[in-house]
A and B are shown apart, each in its own frame.
Chain A
Amino acid sequence: MPSSVRLQEMIRVIRSARTQGEERGIIQRECADIRAQFRQGDNGERSHSLAKLLYVHMLGYPAHFGQMECVRLIASTRYSEKRIGYLGAMMLLDENQDASLLITNSIKNDLSHNSQYVQSLALCTLACMGSAEMCRDLAPEIERLLRASNSYIKKKATLCAVHIIRKVPELAELFTPSARSLLSEKNHGVLHGAVVLITELCEHNPGTLDQFRKAVPELVQIMKGLVTSSYSPEHNVAGISDPFLQVRILRLLRILGHNNDTASDAMNDLLAQVATNTDSSKTAGSAVLYETVLTIMDINSESGLRVLAVNILGRFLLNNDRNIRYISMTSLQKIVQTDHNAVQRHRGTIVDCLKDQDTSVKRRALELSLALVSAVNIRSMMKELLIFLSTCPPELRSHTTSGIFNAAERYSPSKRWHIDTILHVLTTAGGDVRDETVPNLIQLITTASELHCYTVHKLYRALVKDISQQSLVQVACWCIGEYGDLLLKGECEEIEPVQVTEDDVLDALETVLQSHMSSPATRGFALTATMKLSTRITDNVDRIRSIVSIYGSCIDLELQQRAVEYNALFKKYDHMRAAVLERMPVMDKNSPGHTNGDTSGEIKEPDPSKPKPVEAGLLSEPASQVCDLLDLLDGTDTPLQPSPAPTSNPTTTSSADLLDLLGGLEPTPVLTETVYEKNGLSLKIQCDKQTETEVTVTLIGSNSAQNDITNFTLQAAVPKSVQLQMKAPSGNVIPAHGLGQVTQTVVLNNPNKVSLKMRIRVSFSNQGAVHQDTVQIDSFPTQASQTSVSPL
């Protein structure tokens, strides 16, 4: 039998272990001893062993094998064993363990024990870990103790009752009668417990709440007694008489007075008294004042009282104690919407708190400052916020920038101020702004047409200074591309003139293009801007041409594609270049395309600020805009059918692709012939492209009947030597009344140059009936010829 090591000795030994491994070894040995001890049964050593086990448990080691021992020790007759047994139960047992039920009987017995200290152990344990079942079992006992016992037990029984109500709300009725009478107790402990119990009862049941409203005068009396009483050493904390009790009573009054005029009236005087007389030089007093303020703001108090409360919070803002400043700001945050003017009076102090050392205080000050921005103070507030932004901790930056933008959008006194503010933010914290800032800013700039010259100058200068802030660089590139001509003119009313040459501008853009700091999106902006400048500058077009062609072999696919397209604009479509690269139209903020990047799904790149010239038109109805685009181009004058309409089909290339659109249009007229017309369904064939060995046509199906055509499919057959490739159709439903159409592109490869023929089988459903038909096309529409069609 190993000699029992005293608890403290064991602790010493464990602490002297030099490594984790050594400690584990010691713990293992001790646990083995403890287990052996438990098996031995009652020999007066059990409480030592359990105490040791509890220490081991606190270090983080498993101790579940002690659970039954707790149950046994609780049942013991010795006080020392009960004490440690109950402590063990609170530490090792909770309502999820089965063993916890086993102590219910012991608790029941101990609740009626002779010694109040044993009763107290039972009450404490029940309130700490009592499960719902145990609570139901023992509730009547607790209720009895609430009524008839000494104050030591009464105060514990009330808190036990609170626990029972939290676990089993239905038992609240059991305790309601006794709760009221407890308010007449003199003992502060019991009184405090009673107030907590009543608070709990009221929170659970609105009916009970009504009942307890009648207790308001009594509570007011008690408070008055505390506030005006003479010094009582037993309950005094820093000059306040029992602040714990005061705070709980104020909290209960808050619940009782909420939304109730009578109750609120009854407590008005008291609240005024507490608010004015409480000394707040120490935490205890401040705590009471804080609770008073919360109560005043939450009940139906008179306006004078509310102003008093806000002033107290304002005074708190100037307090040296950081905790009190923090508390005051959280409270002000809650009332800033309802009592806006009152809080505005303290704006200066709040703004000063932005400079506090503590991040939590800074955060609160930021929230409040943003809530206090109004049309009247926007200029001065923005100054402060911008200063804050330059020094604020990184975790607050994005919140600050979005707050600044919201405020600027709502209250900006002028467009120029707005643009300046956003530019300032981008320069200071461009990395922490939200994604939609760039398109929003661009949209703002386009609408401020009188400021284009000023804006582009400012942005150019910012760009030359620093190209690391991506959002700023993107906006700058866009503007330079768009308004480069204004930049080169040199004069601007609102800014000192600086001579900018074409080379300077192209240098700046090239720097962005080549810098490793620029993101792919930014380089896209820069490349497009360079391209746009080709129509706005006069001397250096060749330089632009060479820049663009270099990027034609860039490894970044996006950049490469753009460069190749722009190259095409230089070479093949030079006559269109000026028109394509014209000034963009002003973006209307409410147009359907102007959602956060979600333009109509057909457009491949969702970013509406990507300055693909075609996209200006594509922001709204894409189909009709294709025609508008064609109107821009002087090439064609034959009426064109709405060519491949926007499809949801992923295999067809998107109509937003510049080259595809241009590829789809021949400068020469294109013919469409109707090859089939029956029962409302009409099928047209349109020749898209024709070379010596390849023909691309589009089959267009439309429906002029009353009912929709569904399951529309086309099958085609061609002569043996011709290779046929049918692309996926745009859909298989043709709406009635000509409201829509289905198109399908067919590519015919004719290496032997035989005469092209095609047989098409049409099948569809209409009103439930399935139809099938065949059409033979003997020759395809070409420039000079007419199609000859023979329906079979």
Chain B
Amino acid sequence: MMHFLLLFSRQGKLRLQKWFLPLPERERKKIVKDMTTMVLARKPRTCNFLHWKDLKIVYKRYASLYFCCALENQDNELMALETLHRYVELLDKYFGNVCELDIIFNFEKAYFILDELLMGGEIQETSKLSIVKSIEASDMLQETMEEYMSKPAF
């Protein structure tokens, strides 16, 4: 199972954090700091896997954002890379040529999308199409409400 998933910029600014284990706030902050330091220190042509404590850290850089997740020993690292890639594809489909600013200004949507892909640290849906449909339907539900209330959601 995945323990956490983090997105951060090249300057170490956190853009998204999803925790699949209950950890105190202080602990989370420390982990974020450790991850950003470790991952940002990696040279360009090195492999995408790291060891940290007893976890396997898998990270991938997409443009200006680092996607970083932590796995347990029996998890498949190569599959984790695929999972990260799947998430990026979904974001891309949703926002259309997604860039970091999209994720900054629409962070709640990024979370909604993630919550359709992963649950409890495991993949919940393997069909890209299915996820895209669910997000669209949820957005519709929200918008209907908006129309009714004649106010934007956020």
Spell out A's residues near B (CB within 8 Å): 6-8, 11-12, 15, 44, 47-48, 51, 54-55, 58-60, 78-80, 83-84, 87, 94-96, 115, 117, 120, 123-124, 127-129, 131, 152, 155-156, 159-160, 162-163, 166, 188-189, 192-193, 196, 234-235, 237, 242-245, 247, 251, 283-284, 286-287, 290-291, 322-327, 357-361
Contacts and interface: CB of A to CB of B under 8 A. Distances in A.
A47 B29 contact: no
Contacts of A117: 134, 137-138, 141
A94 B45 contact: no
B122 A196 contact: yes
Interface string B24-46: 10000100000000000000011
Contacts of A79: 141-142, 145
Contacts of A156: 119, 124
B120 A163 contact: yes
A166 B17 CA distance: 22
A284 B82 contact: yes
Nearest to B49: A326
Contact of B47 (A44, A192, A291, A358): A358
Contacts of B149: 44, 78
B108 A87 contact: yes
Contact of B45 (A159, A243, A358): A358
B115 A244 contact: no
Contacts of A234: 127-130
B77 A327 contact: yes
Contacts of A327: 49, 77-78
Contacts, number: 157
Interface string B102-132: 0011011001100100011011111111100
B11 to A, nearest CB: 12
Interface in B4-18: 14-17
Given A94-B22, A244-B82, A247-B76, 19 more contacts: A8-B105, A15-B104, A58-B16, A58-B107, A80-B142, A80-B153, A84-B108, A87-B111, A94-B19, A94-B23, A117-B138, A117-B141, A152-B134, A189-B124, A193-B122, A234-B129, A237-B82, A284-B82, A358-B46
Contacts of B112: 83, 87
B107 A244 contact: no
A58 B47 contact: no
Nearest to B149: A44
B22 A361 contact: no
A83 B120 contact: no
B50 interface: yes
A7 B109 CA distance: 13
A11 B101 CA distance: 11
Given A287-B78, A291-B76, A360-B47, A124 B146 contact: no
B78 A283 contact: yes
Given A234-B129, A357-B45, A323 B78 contact: yes
A730 B63 CA distance: 76
Contacts of B16: 58
Given A79-B145, A87-B111, A244-B82, A361 B47 contact: yes
A44 B105 CA distance: 21
Contact of B119 (A124, A324, A360): A124
Contact of A189 (B48, B83, B111, B125): B125
A158 to B, nearest CB: 9
A156 B145 CA distance: 25
Given A47-B153, A193-B124, A287-B76, A160 B119 contact: yes
B126 A244 contact: yes
B113 to A, nearest CB: 12
Contacts of B77: 323, 327
Nearest to A285: B78
Contacts of B22: 94-96, 129, 131
Contact of A51 (B126, B129, B134, B154): B154
Contact of A54 (B108, B128, B153): B108
A235 B146 CA distance: 34
B53 interface: no
A360 B154 CA distance: 46
Nearest to A163: B120
A47 B79 contact: no
B138 A83 contact: yes
B40 to A, nearest CB: 16
B80 to A, nearest CB: 9
Nearest to B137: A117
B78 A155 contact: no
A343 B27 CA distance: 41
B88 interface: no
A326 B126 contact: no
Contact of B82 (A96, A287, A359, A360): A287
B12 to A, nearest CB: 12
B81 A323 contact: yes
Given A80-B145, A94-B22, A326-B49, A188 B126 contact: yes
Contact of A80 (B48, B119, B126, B146): B146
B79 A287 contact: yes
Contact of B76 (A44, A48, A80, A290): A290
Contacts of B142: 79-80, 83
Interface in B42-99: 45-50, 74, 76-79, 81-83
Contact of A58 (B14, B45, B134): B14
A79 B137 CA distance: 12
Contacts of A60: 14, 29
B2 to A, nearest CB: 12
- Counting from the closest, the 7 A-B pairs by CB-CB distance are A287-B78, A127-B120, A163-B120, A189-B125, A94-B22, A322-B47, A159-B119
B101 to A, nearest CB: 10
A531 B105 CA distance: 79
Contact of B105 (A11, A96, A192, A290): A11
Contacts of A159: 119-120, 122, 124
Nearest to B131: A189
Contacts of B127: 188-189, 234-235
A15 B100 CA distance: 13
A233 B42 CA distance: 36
Contacts of B145: 78-80
Contacts of B83: 244
B18 to A, nearest CB: 8
A335 to B, nearest CB: 16
Nearest to A241: B126
B89 to A, nearest CB: 10
Nearest to B115: A124
Contacts of B24: 96
23 contacts: A6-B152, A15-B104, A47-B153, A60-B14, A79-B145, A83-B138, A84-B108, A95-B22, A96-B22, A159-B124, A189-B124, A235-B127, A237-B82, A242-B126, A243-B82, A244-B126, A283-B82, A287-B76, A287-B81, A290-B76, A291-B76, A323-B49, A323-B81
B45 A322 contact: yes
A95 B21 CA distance: 10
A655 to B, nearest CB: 50
B20 to A, nearest CB: 7
Given A156-B119, A234-B129, A360-B50, A286 B78 contact: yes
A397 B81 CA distance: 31
A242 B129 CA distance: 13
B147 to A, nearest CB: 12
B146 A192 contact: no
B83 to A, nearest CB: 8
From A6, A54, A129, A360, residue with most partner B Cβ within 10 Å: A360
A79 B146 CA distance: 10
A742 B41 CA distance: 65
A115 B141 contact: yes
A283 B45 CA distance: 17
